């Protein structure tokens, strides 16, 4: 960790805890800052705040009093999930107070260079692929997962050595709060409409994502999805050296041609060898290949790692087989686009889809083309009847209902035959029945394990 003096004896307000807020508060405290933490959860229900108080950090919990800003703060570190129209944030902006997110702090203190990965879909899988490949191919160094993937960036930055690297997943929320942030390699996996309630417009969302490259120079590499015209246009406005990847055409980077993944005319491995299914995972793999090659990893190491890569939990994750029926967990598919991409990776005639969840008012007309040819669907949650209409329009002949994702497992298995696949890809958020998509996925995995146990008995 760089021992910077920027924040020594400076008053800094950390707004919102969770993992990144706790990490930022501790890191700033270590750097000699006079930290005040403000979190909405009451102190007696807030173990994180209690721990910070024990370290000597000032803690204000249970509300967000505007008068907090009467103090002469040097800076605010905002939890990424807190919107910019929050009263305390708006007041800070009016006062001209600098507002950053925790990934900016991580960059400032990190001795290790950063590989930063963002995008609407695929960033977690790509980040994990890159970390696996770099750790397989580097000697005496370590690639550290960090950022939006669940490992607070400033905590990881403190322990990373100069010869290591941070492989950092960054969200649009986090990128809105960067100033000096400067990755050595950056990846933009794709851009689709998302989080418009937070950003206010498509243009603002794209601008937030594009901040990943704002401080990069021609000595840095920006890996971009050349399948998207919008991204090709953005590429005209960067100082970084652009490296494209594409599944649709041969480009001066990573590309797919006749079932083989290449990097600049060098074959790396075939699509059939990839450890995870789906054209979206081909895109993720191409981005990871470009990153790894630029980092100096041998082609064979890249290929070997991608052959054995089994995916990220809850993201088209292979769970196992029961009587030669394969189970996949794609609980992270909380929108239609994610489920469409998952369905692209399987033979529909041998596929049973488990789908449903929170009703946000949308219809599922756009899912109809992806459902055509699917062997059967098992539907649950608030949207089950809307999904039934979509399945009927797609010509799906076998439609069943279950109480929830775990109860759908034995019902789907009854409908299956050998060599079939059962896929949980809900196309909906989980909050009608589960605390989050992770709980939904874990319940599904447990149900598959229970089914396997029963079949052995």
**Which residues make up each annotated binding site for ATP?**
119-125
CA separation, residue 138 to residues 51, 133, 183, 296, 368 (Å) = 37, 9, 19, 9, 45
Rounded CA-CA distance 410/70 in Å is 59
Q: How many CA atoms lie within 13 A of 303 on its CB side?
A: 15
Rounded CA-CA distance 422/412 in Å is 7
- Are residues 73 and 97 in contact, defined by beta-carbon separation less than 8 angstroms? yes
In 3D, which of 234, 321, 241, 248 has the Cα closest to residue 279?
A: 248
96 burial type by CB count under 10 A (0-12 exposed, 13-18 middle, 19+ buried): exposed
- Are residues 332 and 314 in contact, defined by beta-carbon separation less than 8 angstroms? yes
- Are residues 292 and 262 in contact, defined by beta-carbon separation less than 8 angstroms? no
Residues annotated within the binding site are 119-125
Helix (H, G, I), strand (E, B) or coil at 92: helix
Question: Looking at the DSSP assignment, which residues form a beta bridge with residue 315?
Answer: 312
Tell me how far apart the terminal alpha carbons of the chain are, to the nearest angstrom.
Answer: 54
What DSSP state is assigned to residue 259? T
Token couple for 160? 């990373």
Rounded CA-CA distance 393/67 in Å is 57
Token couple for 70? 């009467």
Question: Looking at the DSSP assignment, which residues form a beta bridge with residue 329?
Answer: 317, 424
Buried-exposed string 272-297: b where 16+ CB fall within 10 A, e elsewhere: eebebbbebbbbbbbbbbbbbbbbeb
């Amino acid at each position: 960790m760089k021992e910077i003096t920027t924040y020594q004896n400076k008053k800094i307000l950390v707004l919102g805890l969770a993992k990144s807020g706790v990490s930022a508060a501790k890191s700033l405290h270590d750097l000699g800052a006079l930290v005040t933490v403000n979190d909405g959860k009451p102190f007696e229900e807030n173990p994180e705040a209690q721990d910070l108080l024990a370290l000597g950090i000032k803690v204000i919990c249970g509300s967000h009093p505007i008068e907090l800003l009467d103090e002469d703060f040097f800076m605010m570190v905002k939890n990424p999930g807190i919107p910019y129209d929050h009263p305390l944030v708006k007041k800070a902006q009016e006062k001209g107070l600098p507002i950053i997110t925790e990934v900016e702090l991580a960059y400032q203190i990190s001795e290790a260079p950063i590989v930063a990965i963002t995008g609407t879909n695929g960033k977690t899988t790509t980040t994990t692929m890159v970390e696996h490949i770099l750790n397989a191919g580097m000697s005496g160094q370590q690639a550290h997962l960090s950022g939006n993937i669940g490992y607070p960036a400033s905590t990881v930055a403190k322990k990373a050595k100069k010869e290591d690297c941070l492989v950092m997943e960054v969200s649009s929320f986090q990128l809105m709060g960067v100033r000096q942030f400067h990755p050595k390699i950056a990846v933009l996996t794709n851009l689709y409409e998302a989080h418009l309630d937070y950003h206010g417009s498509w243009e603002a969302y794209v601008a937030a994502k594009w901040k990943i490259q704002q401080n990069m120079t021609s000595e840095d590499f920006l890996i971009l999805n050349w399948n998207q015209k919008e991204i090709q246009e953005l590429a005209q406005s960067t100082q970084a050296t652009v490296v494209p990847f594409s599944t649709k055409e041969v480009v001066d980077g990573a590309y797919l041609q006749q079932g083989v993944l290449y990097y600049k005319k060098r074959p790396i491995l075939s699509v059939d060898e990839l450890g995870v299914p789906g054209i979206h995972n081909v895109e993720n793999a191409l981005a990871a290949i470009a990153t790894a090659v630029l980092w100096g990893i041998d082609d064979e190491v890249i290929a070997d790692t991608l052959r054995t890569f089994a995916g990220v939990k809850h993201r088209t994750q292979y769970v196992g087989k029961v009587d030669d029926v394969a189970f996949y967990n794609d609980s992270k598919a909380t929108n239609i686009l994610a489920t469409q991409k998952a369905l692209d990776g399987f033979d529909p005639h041998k596929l049973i889809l488990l789908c449903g969840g929170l009703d946000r008012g949308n219809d599922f007309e756009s899912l109809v083309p992806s459902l055509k040819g699917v062997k059967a669907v098992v539907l649950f949650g608030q949207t089950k009847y809307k999904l039934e209409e979509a399945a009927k329009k797609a010509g799906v002949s076998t439609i069943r209902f279950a109480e929830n994702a775990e109860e759908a497992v034995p019902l789907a298995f009854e409908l299956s035959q050998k060599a079939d696949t059962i896929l949980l890809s809900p196309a909906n958020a989980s909050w009608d029945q589960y605390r989050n998509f992770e709980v939904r996925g874990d319940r599904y995995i447990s149900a598959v394990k229970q089914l396997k146990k029963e079949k052995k008995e």
